[in-house]
Amino acid sequence: MIKSGSFMIKFCKIISEGRKTEKLLILLSIALLFIISIIYFYWYGEGIFLYQENKSLFIFSNEYLRKYITKPGGLLEYAGNFITQFYYYPFYGSLINTIFLILFFALLIRINRKLFPASFSILILTLPVILLFFVQIRYTHSINNSLGYLLIASCFLVTISFKRNVNRYITTALYPLFYYIAGSFALIYLVLFIVYCIIYEDKIHKYLLPLYIISISVITFFVYKEIIFLQTGKQLLFYPLPVFDVSRIPVAYSILSISIIVFPLLIKINGFLKLNHKSAALINIAILIILFPVTVLFLVKNYDHNLKILFRIEKSVFRQDWNAIIKIQEKFHSSNSNCQYYYNLALSEKGELCSRMFHAPQNFGINSLMLPREIENLNRAYYFYYAIALIGEAHHLAYESMVLYGYRPENIKLLIKTNLINGNHMIAERYIKVFKRTLYYRKWAEKFENMLYNPELIKTDSELGEKIRLLPREDFFVRPDDIQNIDLVLWANPDNKKAFEYKLARLLLQKDLRAIVNEVKKMKEMGYASLPRHVEEAMLVFRYSIREFPDLGGLYINPDTELRFNNYLTVYNLNITNKSRLESEVKRVGGNTFWYYYQFK
């Protein structure tokens, strides 16, 4: 009792002393921000870093830098791309985003003290930071946008730190430089500064400073547009972030930008509220107690587990960890079409496509085997062509990806491999040199650099050598229809088992039993010692439903498969009259079989 009473006395004493309470609340907010941010980004947001790191490729070269110094906002994007390369390791990405949040918070605190030292509201200070956090957890968010908001806060703090008006006119004259560095983020700063002048400046400067900076910004816009950079008006207004184009910008960015613009106004309003230290402290403590749990609740509610599974699978695709892909998909049974596509790709690379494909969902028919060659699938579709050794088309799509999106780790990897397979060593060397000027892909490039101008070494490589052996032996035109392309690949190289099993998988998904029987006849001549599990299951369905023994071309159905089929039929017949239980009971004994897919999908 005495201890609890002593604590309450100390607590009341602290909240009655304004500055001590403010410091305590600030430190507590920083600690909570750090903990929540690190935990979320590292354990739940690693897909953000995978997506962003693979969206661009930072190259240490003058040519790469020149692309960005020739336009306003380019340096901001260049700096963002430099930082993004550290996303290769999720821990670094988590730390970077957390540090940015805390820096932004620190800048807002400093601005608050410069504007109105007697005004303190934990809600006004933390709300823009939490909004930035909500923006950062979007997987499409680029770190250069966080840098842009940090630049706005930093430059605004520098501007208001000068007590003499003449110094503010001098710093405002540097607006063209800020516009060049920050691009469209300078427009947010412009509005922020005008709001500040109207509220805080006195006498003639209340009107003169806004007119002064507006004049400079208009002149800057036309000089950049017509003389220096020859950029379009749209480019100057909306790059790197289309802050005033509501149709193109996520709502979170708009709200964050508005919260920064009205920040000086909110500080002023809060300063006019005449509350004693104790009441103000209690209100701020109550806000803190509510605000951070609400933040956590928002994170939990908006967390997309299916997206995390997709990113985990894609990470394994990039590393060619086929076992991990199979394990993840068979554990979580994702209904995402890309997850199912990658699962089938992994099975193909492991030689298990027709033995294991029904161990996980197949909800999209043949579209889970091969993706349409459309822009949204461009960076995924080329894996299928590479898998079946249709190297020309894989190269074509990888090159198209590079032209459309620029250098990305995956399209450069595929361009190196396909050019080595096709014997285009000079072109492969050019792309290898690109990788050798990066931070994390140098070692990967060194392996393939050793293969340059050494065809025999390429043939002995476990990956490239296999693709060479599967290459078409005759030329043909690639068709828009991938079903035809697989047939053409098999016509040009009948020994291509990868393409053959993709064809069988397609027939299984289409439930075309008679076509499967026609393909089974060829399997012994192709070197198969036994039938893949799902093909055996299809043959038993054919025999049972058509009442005809299929020609297996000299191969046999495993007795264990016969036994499983009889057990499946027994369970089916026992529950056939009970429609509510039929599917669940059959799924229990044969959910990972072609039989279940054939009947219920």
Decide if 431 contacts 423 (C-beta within 8 A). no
Residue 186 belongs to some domain of the structure: yes
pLDDT tens across 487-496, in order?
999 999 999 9
Q: How far apart are CA 586 and CA 116, in angstroms?
A: 71
What the block records as the tokens of 398 is 């990888």
User: Are 268 and 387 found together in one domain?
Assistant: no
Decide if 432 contacts 452 (C-beta within 8 A). yes
Q: How far apart are CA 270 and CA 199, in angstroms?
A: 13
State the number of CA atoms in the 13 A half-sphere of 22 facing the CB: 15
Would the pLDDT of 586 be above 50? yes
- Is pTM beyond 0.75? Reply is yes
Q: How far apart are CA 220 and CA 176, in angstroms?
A: 6
Higher pLDDT, 451 or 272: 451
User: Are 463 and 537 found together in one domain?
Assistant: no
Q: What is the pLDDT of residue 191?
A: 96
Higher pLDDT, 429 or 278: 429
Residue type, 125: L
Would the pLDDT of 8 be above 50? no
**Stretch 394-416: mean pLDDT:** 97
User: Are 83 and 193 found together in one domain?
Assistant: yes
Q: End of a domain among 301, 335, 361?
A: 301
Q: How far apart are CA 172 and CA 156, in angstroms?
A: 10
Report the domain count for the chain: 3
Residue type, 181: I
Q: How far apart are CA 417 and CA 458, in angstroms?
A: 10
How would residue 201 be classed by pLDDT, with cut points 50, 70 and 90?
confident
How would residue 118 be classed by pLDDT, with cut points 50, 70 and 90?
confident
Q: What is the pLDDT of residue 487?
A: 97
Residue 314 belongs to some domain of the structure: no
pLDDT tens across 527-576, in order?
999 999 999 999 999 999 888 889 999 999 999 999 999 999 999 999 98
Element (H, E) at 251: helix 251-261
Helix (H, G, I), strand (E, B) or coil at 2: helix
CA terminus-to-terminus distance, the chain = 67
CB neighbour list of residue 546: distance below 8 Å, 6 or more residues apart: 513, 514
User: Average pLDDT over the chain, rounded to whole?
Assistant: 92
Cα-to-chain-centroid distance, residue 256: 22
Range in 284-288, 346-350, 403-407 with the lowest mean pLDDT = 284-288
Helix (H, G, I), strand (E, B) or coil at 521: coil
Residue type, 489: V
Residue 465 belongs to some domain of the structure: yes
Residue 149 belongs to some domain of the structure: yes
User: Are 562 and 484 found together in one domain?
Assistant: no
**Closest Cα to residue 135, out of 97, 167, 103?**
97
Q: What is the pLDDT of residue 7?
A: 42
Residue 360 belongs to some domain of the structure: yes
Percent of the chain with pLDDT over 70: 96
CA distances from 326 to 311, 313, 533 (A): 14, 9, 17
Would the pLDDT of 226 be above 60? yes
Q: How far apart are CA 517 and CA 550, in angstroms?
A: 6
pLDDT tens across 122-131, in order?
999 999 999 9
Decide if 501 contacts 486 (C-beta within 8 A). no
User: Are 362 and 388 found together in one domain?
Assistant: yes
Burial class (CB in 10 A: 0-12, 13-18, 19+), 295: buried
Higher pLDDT, 39 or 248: 39
Phi, psi of 478 (to 5 degrees): -70, 130
Decide if 560 contacts 547 (C-beta within 8 A). no
Decide if 264 contacts 195 (C-beta within 8 A). yes
> C-alpha angle 464/467/471, rounded to 5°?
140
Q: What is the pLDDT of residue 10?
A: 47
User: Are 355 and 253 found together in one domain?
Assistant: no
Q: What is the pLDDT of residue 235?
A: 87
Helix-strand-coil percent breakdown of the chain, rounded to 5?
A: 75, 0, 25
Q: What is the pLDDT of residue 281?
A: 83
Q: What is the pLDDT of residue 11?
A: 42
User: Are 430 and 517 found together in one domain?
Assistant: no
**Stretch 345-368: mean pLDDT:** 97
Higher pLDDT, 22 or 498: 498
Residue 310 belongs to some domain of the structure: no
Q: How far apart are CA 416 and CA 195, in angstroms?
A: 53
Range in 20-29, 436-445, 449-458 with the lowest mean pLDDT = 20-29
Q: How far apart are CA 352 and CA 365, in angstroms?
A: 18
CB neighbour list of residue 258: distance below 8 Å, 6 or more residues apart: none
Residue 504 belongs to some domain of the structure: no
Greatest Cα pair distance, the chain, in angstroms, is 99
Q: What is the DSSP letter of 504?
A: H
Q: How far apart are CA 288 and CA 13, in angstroms?
A: 19
Q: What is the pLDDT of residue 15?
A: 46
Q: How far apart are CA 78 and CA 308, in angstroms?
A: 28
Decide if 94 contacts 45 (C-beta within 8 A). yes
CB neighbour list of residue 505: distance below 8 Å, 6 or more residues apart: 344, 353, 354, 357, 369
Would the pLDDT of 503 be above 90? yes
Q: How far apart are CA 22 and CA 109, in angstroms?
A: 10
User: Are 6 and 92 found together in one domain?
Assistant: yes
Q: End of a domain among 429, 453, 488?
A: 488
Q: How far apart are CA 417 and CA 423, in angstroms?
A: 10
User: Are 107 and 29 found together in one domain?
Assistant: yes
Range in 10-14, 81-85, 151-155, 294-298 with the lowest mean pLDDT = 10-14
229-243 b/e with 16+ CB inside 10 Å = b?
Answer: bebeeebbbbbbbeb
User: Are 97 and 238 found together in one domain?
Assistant: yes
Decide if 101 contacts 41 (C-beta within 8 A). no
User: Are 483 and 541 found together in one domain?
Assistant: no
CB neighbour list of residue 351: distance below 8 Å, 6 or more residues apart: 497, 501
Would the pLDDT of 84 be above 70? yes
What the block records as the tokens of 222 is 């036309």
Residue 385 sits in which domain range?
Answer: 319-488
Would the pLDDT of 601 be above 60? yes
What the block records as the tokens of 188 is 């947010």
What the block records as the tokens of 545 is 């439903």
Residue 269 belongs to some domain of the structure: yes
User: Are 455 and 530 found together in one domain?
Assistant: no
Range in 4-13, 50-59, 437-446, 454-463 with the lowest mean pLDDT = 4-13
Q: End of a domain among 488, 521, 550?
A: 488
Q: What is the pLDDT of residue 146?
A: 96
How would residue 5 be classed by pLDDT, with cut points 50, 70 and 90?
low
**Stretch 404-421: mean pLDDT:** 97
**Closest Cα to residue 97, out of 150, 60, 59?**
150
Would the pLDDT of 283 be above 50? yes
pLDDT tens across 231-247, in order?
888 888 889 986 655 55
Q: What is the pLDDT of residue 9?
A: 47
Would the pLDDT of 163 be above 90? no
